[in-house]
Structure 1
Amino acid sequence: MVALRVGLALGTMAGAAQAEGVLPYRDADAVARGERLYEATCATCHGRDLQGEPDWQSRDAEGYLPAPPHDQTGHTWHHPDAVLLDIVRRGTAAVVGQGYQSRMPGYAGALTEAEMREVLAYIKSTWPDRVIAIHDRINVEAGG
């Protein structure tokens, strides 16, 4: 009976951790480091206030989509943590494949895995609770 209770408790804790995914968005130190990294690495294209480039949903003259916003008006929160990390790690074109063109590079050689998580944690920390709750559900549905 004790083993059953311990198992249920661990399962509940694992479910809570799973719902939040792998981004340390509740860790103030990680978020602060992520904000500094975002400013140095991402803000040039995605905007200091996470607003993205103008007309980000329309291809430019060269056929590329401008950098999308990372605030609640964009689609970043529509993707589970694993996909977001893969995009930051390898770049959008590599993740999407099938000849997709994107100016979003991969940062595997420039940022550590922990730094990538911190950048994404900073972004997630700026979303309203409603959007965070939806994103947490997306993580659960994606299996992590």
Structure 2
Amino acid sequence: MPAIAAPVDLARGEALYGDYCASCHGANLEGQPDWRSPGPDGRLPAPPHDATGHTWHHDDATLFAYTKLGGAAALAAQGVEGFDSGMPGFEGTLTDAEIRDVLKYIKSTWPDRERAAQAARTQAAGG
């Protein structure tokens, strides 16, 4: 029997985004300035989560792992060692359902083209 998807709460996702993500990724999902160029500390600034960024280029499992584990740990799990990511992990701070709500909120702001491309990547990855 297939698993039943948990209900998603977009309003909760938007509120959690404001509480935990907006300080780095922007209240309007716009990211930090010059997000493609490393800062003085060698880390890349927080990218936008709107359609101008690359978040929609990743499948759901990757986005979930990056949010739950943090950038460095998620990449290490994929075999990319030594990447100095400024993205913290939210495991122990947000539940899995809350992380899914935040990601669903972010995806809800994308135009149809980006949502469709991201959904196709998720399906191709087996999600």
Report if TM-score (shorter chain) is over 0.5: yes
Give, in whole Å, the separation in 1 of the partners of 2:107 and 2:51: 9
Partner amino acid, structure 1, of 2:17:
Y
Secondary structure of the residue aligned to 1:51 is coil
| 1:130, distance to aligned residue in structure 2 (A) | 1.0
| 1:109 paired residue number | 92
Partner amino acid, structure 1, of 2:97:
A
The 5 Å alignment of 1:120-139 reads 120-139=103-122
Unaligned runs of 5+ in 2: none
Partner amino acid, structure 2, of 1:139:
T
Give, in whole Å, the separation in 2 of the partners of 1:79 and 1:131: 11
Instruction: Tell me if 1:80 matches 2:59.
Output: yes
Superposed CA RMSD: 1.9
| 1:48 paired residue number | 27
Moved over 2 A (4+): none
| 1:23, distance to aligned residue in structure 2 (A) | 8.8
| 2:16 paired residue number | 37
TM-score by length of 1: 0.80
Higher alpha-carbon Rg: 1
Structure with bigger RCO (C-alpha 8 Å, 6+ apart): 1
| 1:96, distance to aligned residue in structure 2 (A) | 1.4
| 1:103, distance to aligned residue in structure 2 (A) | 1.2
Number of residues of Structure 1 aligned to a counterpart in Structure 2: 122
TM-score by length of 2: 0.90
Give, in whole Å, the separation in 2 of the partners of 1:53 and 1:23: 32
Give, in whole Å, the separation in 2 of the partners of 1:23 and 1:67: 29
Give, in whole Å, the separation in 2 of the partners of 1:45 and 1:79: 19
Identity of aligned residues (%): 54
Partner amino acid, structure 1, of 2:82:
G
| 1:116, distance to aligned residue in structure 2 (A) | 0.2
| 1:93, distance to aligned residue in structure 2 (A) | 0.6
Give, in whole Å, the separation in 1 of the partners of 2:88 and 2:52: 22
Partner amino acid, structure 1, of 2:100:
R
Please, which of 65, 81, 100 is the counterpart of residue 83 of structure 2?
A: 100
Give, in whole Å, the separation in 2 of the partners of 1:111 and 1:61: 30
Please, which of 21, 24, 44 is the counterpart of residue 65 of structure 1?
A: 44
